[in-house]
Chains A and B, each alone.
Chain A
């Protein structure tokens, strides 16, 4: 993220000025230039920074912005604004679109009045996701246009274009980025900021907006006609273009980040190619592709993840009998998995085109390097909760407990030494899956869920568990923010996405209201009361809930630093009995071994002091550093 003071630059109305922007910052600027009046999201990496920027600038930009409770609600809010005449933008990570897919499949039928663009930030190679689904398939499934940018400049410009397309046919448009587009930083030339509609007005038209079978029959036919007309638009689109290098012997069709990696390979090896670079990928520019296929004996399709373009290109070749030899994933030249890099693309192209790939000169045996996977931060309250739960399970003599986890920083509880995640599939699944285990097995089930995830989709699972008399302990890891994606507010906080005061929704009041009797709120830094609460819940039959409430360590750090109340801890080597409990069981990243002694890294310790508790350090060898 650029600094907050620098973020204001995104509001400057000086066409031609250049800024060095993250793809997501460029997208936020694109929304401002497009005159977006309403923007909604549920935070998810790699889309998160779009919301962080809009949250900061919304008021000055004249945008209504909200962090919605989940993606389904986010798209519903944006949709209602768009059918009230306001340009609306909704954005999320790829798996978020699964949550929003239900409304998306119907709003493609009803269409919109002002522009509605739905952004999906896909995550090839799963840098921070549970899967790497290719959401271009949603455009096909919903019969809506698909736009794919390759870099920060295109991210901004193509977003504005997506709004034009949306309004041309009154249809929602899918705008698809990937991690390397959203998180690539490059120079962006600013454009003009458009004027906005002030207030929306919804003119009733139930035939168009009520998706009852009687209406949807006709709407579907209308939708197909819209997409038919958009074929011509795609064929003449300024965001589809041909570039030629050398005599252009091989034809290559590509889009998105794959274009960048391809171009680096083309310039490194001086390849003789013509490239059809596509930004408008559904509907495909059929005439353009047909001509390109006819002009080349051999055409290679270079795209990440699914053979989305390749399948259609092969179909066009067959329908128009172009006789072109086509290379791609389906015939095994490229992989269906993970993002591309210069090595993988050069490797695949060399097998097709027959050039020699340079050998990597320096190899290192990286198995010798100890892994450093993501860990819970020093001072993270979740570490204390996981530690207490593990001890309580052991003290209660519970054999074969099942830990059902959820999406958030606390997913990292899967790693040693906590090992408190046996299953984790999607947002809100910890409690739904937990209820299922209690039906299927006689084992004790402990589910973990974060505060934001609880509001997002945990509540229906919890209601289901209560009504179906499941036997589950649910631990709500309430760190007072949506931490993993960068501290966005959620309904459990007294502030909203625009920084205004907002009603705080109480987790424990919801839990009690659905009839759960055993409800305890604890501070995880207080290991003793957390242990007692968890032990009690483990003895309880039915659904019990513990809210482990303590703000995210990063928020606490900021507050402590500003109040100059910073402190750290150290190990007294005289008192330390080298029992190794703190390093082996508590495992804070600040605690390490050097010269056979346990030490605390003063540069990393954030002074939570949980390690100093006798439950972690029985000989009380860990003490506060006294600065004279």
Chain B
């Protein structure tokens, strides 16, 4: 058994932190985890992606078609990761855009999310979520991470449950910040459940 998760986004969005939270939850459940981080070059603004692999795995790199779950922190970066999706890959896409300067510099606008999603094979189901507004609703913009992890939990592809995520959050945060993150987790879960029943 293995679960392969790709988290992609823009430097500065907390992509590595999300990988750490998922890894910690799996570890609490007693599952073997390997995670790959690429550091270096500019600190903010470039494409960043983290591979998290859980279960019977050796290396930290997920091959083409091998991702079980893609978590995109940003629409263009979500689509960039989709080249590693397979037919059964679940995708969560945060709808909040960050315009790359390659567009603005050439007086171009960011494509619509519908145009971007249209690039992907029809067999891939992409669930959009506005994690920024939900994080703000929970009480802090920086809880975007936790909202997205909540959304991933609701898809039931992760090899652990809410209890392990809460334990991981509890190891990291305390007091009010923990409460905000617990709320953010619930908002993420609810959002996906709403979409699924709709």
Q: Which residues of A does B touch, CB under 8 Å? A: 2-3, 20, 22, 45-46, 48-49, 127-128, 151, 179-180, 183-187, 257, 259-261, 263-264, 267, 341-343, 346, 358-366, 368-378, 409, 412, 416-417, 483-486, 554, 580, 583-584, 587-589, 591-596, 601, 603-604
The answer to whether the Cβ of B119 comes within 8 Å of any Cβ in the partner chain is yes
Q: In the complex, are the beta carbons of B11 and A374 less than 8 A apart? A: yes
Q: In the complex, are the beta carbons of B33 and A186 less than 8 A apart? A: yes
Show 20 A/B contacts (Cβ-Cβ < 8 Å), sorted by A. Answer: A49-B39, A179-B38, A185-B23, A261-B58, A342-B61, A343-B64, A346-B63, A358-B65, A361-B86, A362-B83, A363-B83, A364-B120, A366-B80, A366-B83, A375-B46, A375-B101, A593-B103, A593-B109, A594-B99, A603-B141
Q: A362-B65, A603-B141 are in contact. Are A46 and B107 (CB under 8 A)?
A: no
Q: A580-B107, A593-B107 are in contact. Are A257 and B39 (CB under 8 A)?
A: no
Residues of B within 8 A of A261 (CB): 58-59, 61
CA of A246 to CA of B101 in the docked complex: distance in angstroms?
52
CA of A593 to CA of B111 in the docked complex: distance in angstroms?
11
Q: B134 to nearest A CB, angstroms? A: 14
CA of A22 to CA of B37 in the docked complex: distance in angstroms?
9
Residues of A within 8 A of B33 (CB): 20, 185-187
Q: B150 to nearest A CB, angstroms? A: 20
Q: A97 to nearest B CB, angstroms? A: 17
Residues of A within 8 A of B116 (CB): 369
- The residue from A260, A486, A593 contacting B58, defined by CB atoms under 8 A apart: A260
Which of B23, B46, B57, B96 has its CB near the most chain A CB atoms (within 10 A)? B46
Residues of A within 8 A of B34 (CB): 151, 184-186
Residues of B within 8 A of A184 (CB): 34-36, 59-60
Residues of B within 8 A of A2 (CB): 20
The list of the 3 closest CB pairs from A to B, nearest first, reads: A128-B40, A342-B63, A260-B59
The answer to whether the Cβ of B176 comes within 8 Å of any Cβ in the partner chain is no
Q: In the complex, are the beta carbons of B100 and A362 less than 8 A apart? A: no
Q: A558 to nearest B CB, angstroms? A: 12
Residues of B within 8 A of A187 (CB): 27, 32-33
Q: B84 to nearest A CB, angstroms? A: 8
Q: Work out how many contacts link A and B, with CB atoms closer than 8 A.
A: 213
- Nearest-CB residue, chain A, relative to B46: A374
Q: In the complex, are the beta carbons of A360 and B65 less than 8 A apart? A: yes
The answer to whether the Cβ of B123 comes within 8 Å of any Cβ in the partner chain is yes
- The residue from B45, B61, B76 contacting A377, defined by CB atoms under 8 A apart: B45
Which of A22, A260, A593 has its CB near the most chain B CB atoms (within 10 A)? A593
Q: B80 to nearest A CB, angstroms? A: 6
CA of A249 to CA of B35 in the docked complex: distance in angstroms?
32
Which of B77, B87, B100 has its CB near the most chain A CB atoms (within 10 A)? B100
Residues of A within 8 A of B83 (CB): 362-364, 366
- The residue from B12, B40, B65, B103 contacting A370, defined by CB atoms under 8 A apart: B103
Consensus secondary structure, chain A interface = loop
The answer to whether the Cβ of B44 comes within 8 Å of any Cβ in the partner chain is yes
Q: In the complex, are the beta carbons of A587 and B104 less than 8 A apart? A: yes
CA of A370 to CA of B47 in the docked complex: distance in angstroms?
11
Q: B47 to nearest A CB, angstroms? A: 5
Q: A515 to nearest B CB, angstroms? A: 36
CA of A257 to CA of B87 in the docked complex: distance in angstroms?
28
Q: In the complex, are the beta carbons of A364 and B121 less than 8 A apart? A: yes
CA of A263 to CA of B53 in the docked complex: distance in angstroms?
14
Residues of A within 8 A of B61 (CB): 180, 261, 341-342
Residues of B within 8 A of A412 (CB): 41-42
CA of A397 to CA of B85 in the docked complex: distance in angstroms?
52
CA of A371 to CA of B178 in the docked complex: distance in angstroms?
36
Q: In the complex, are the beta carbons of A369 and B121 less than 8 A apart? A: no
Q: In the complex, are the beta carbons of A183 and B37 less than 8 A apart? A: yes
Q: A362-B120, A364-B121, A593-B109 are in contact. Are A128 and B39 (CB under 8 A)?
A: yes
Q: In the complex, are the beta carbons of B107 and A372 less than 8 A apart? A: no
Residues of B within 8 A of A365 (CB): 119
Among residues 82 to 117 in chain B, which have CB atoms less than 8 Å away from a CB atom of chain A? 82-83, 85-87, 89, 96, 98-110, 116
CA of A365 to CA of B118 in the docked complex: distance in angstroms?
11
The answer to whether the Cβ of B79 comes within 8 Å of any Cβ in the partner chain is yes
Residues of A within 8 A of B109 (CB): 593-596
Further pairs besides A128-B41, A370-B76, A484-B40: 15, Cβ < 8 Å: A48-B40, A151-B58, A183-B37, A187-B33, A259-B58, A342-B59, A372-B10, A375-B42, A377-B42, A416-B105, A484-B42, A583-B105, A593-B99, A593-B107, A594-B109
Q: B171-182, CB under 8 A of A: which get 1 and which 0?
A: 010000000000
Q: B59-74, CB under 8 A of A: which get 1 and which 0?
A: 1111111100000000
Residues of A within 8 A of B32 (CB): 187
- Nearest-CB residue, chain A, relative to B124: A362
Q: In the complex, are the beta carbons of B77 and A260 less than 8 A apart? A: no
CA of A563 to CA of B50 in the docked complex: distance in angstroms?
32
Q: In the complex, are the beta carbons of A343 and B42 less than 8 A apart? A: no
- Nearest-CB residue, chain B, relative to A267: B56
Q: In the complex, are the beta carbons of B76 and A369 less than 8 A apart? A: yes
Residues of B within 8 A of A364 (CB): 79, 82-83, 119-121
CA of A510 to CA of B66 in the docked complex: distance in angstroms?
55
Q: In the complex, are the beta carbons of A376 and B99 less than 8 A apart? A: no
The answer to whether the Cβ of B186 comes within 8 Å of any Cβ in the partner chain is no
Q: In the complex, are the beta carbons of B56 and A46 less than 8 A apart? A: no
CA of A563 to CA of B60 in the docked complex: distance in angstroms?
40
Residues of B within 8 A of A486 (CB): 39
The answer to whether the Cβ of B197 comes within 8 Å of any Cβ in the partner chain is no
CA of A187 to CA of B83 in the docked complex: distance in angstroms?
29
Q: A504 to nearest B CB, angstroms? A: 24
Q: A130 to nearest B CB, angstroms? A: 11
Q: In the complex, are the beta carbons of A343 and B63 less than 8 A apart? A: yes
Q: In the complex, are the beta carbons of A370 and B42 less than 8 A apart? A: no
- Nearest-CB residue, chain A, relative to B34: A186
Q: A185-B37, A362-B65 are in contact. Are A601 and B104 (CB under 8 A)?
A: no
CA of A533 to CA of B124 in the docked complex: distance in angstroms?
56
Q: In the complex, are the beta carbons of B63 and A361 less than 8 A apart? A: no
CA of A75 to CA of B100 in the docked complex: distance in angstroms?
41
Q: A20-B33, A603-B141 are in contact. Are A46 and B40 (CB under 8 A)?
A: yes
CA of A260 to CA of B79 in the docked complex: distance in angstroms?
27
Q: In the complex, are the beta carbons of A127 and B76 less than 8 A apart? A: no
CA of A594 to CA of B7 in the docked complex: distance in angstroms?
27
Residues of B within 8 A of A263 (CB): 58-59
- Nearest-CB residue, chain B, relative to A22: B37
Which of B10, B39, B60, B62 has its CB near the most chain A CB atoms (within 10 A)? B39
Residues of B within 8 A of A48 (CB): 39-40
CA of A369 to CA of B66 in the docked complex: distance in angstroms?
21
Q: In the complex, are the beta carbons of B120 and A378 less than 8 A apart? A: no
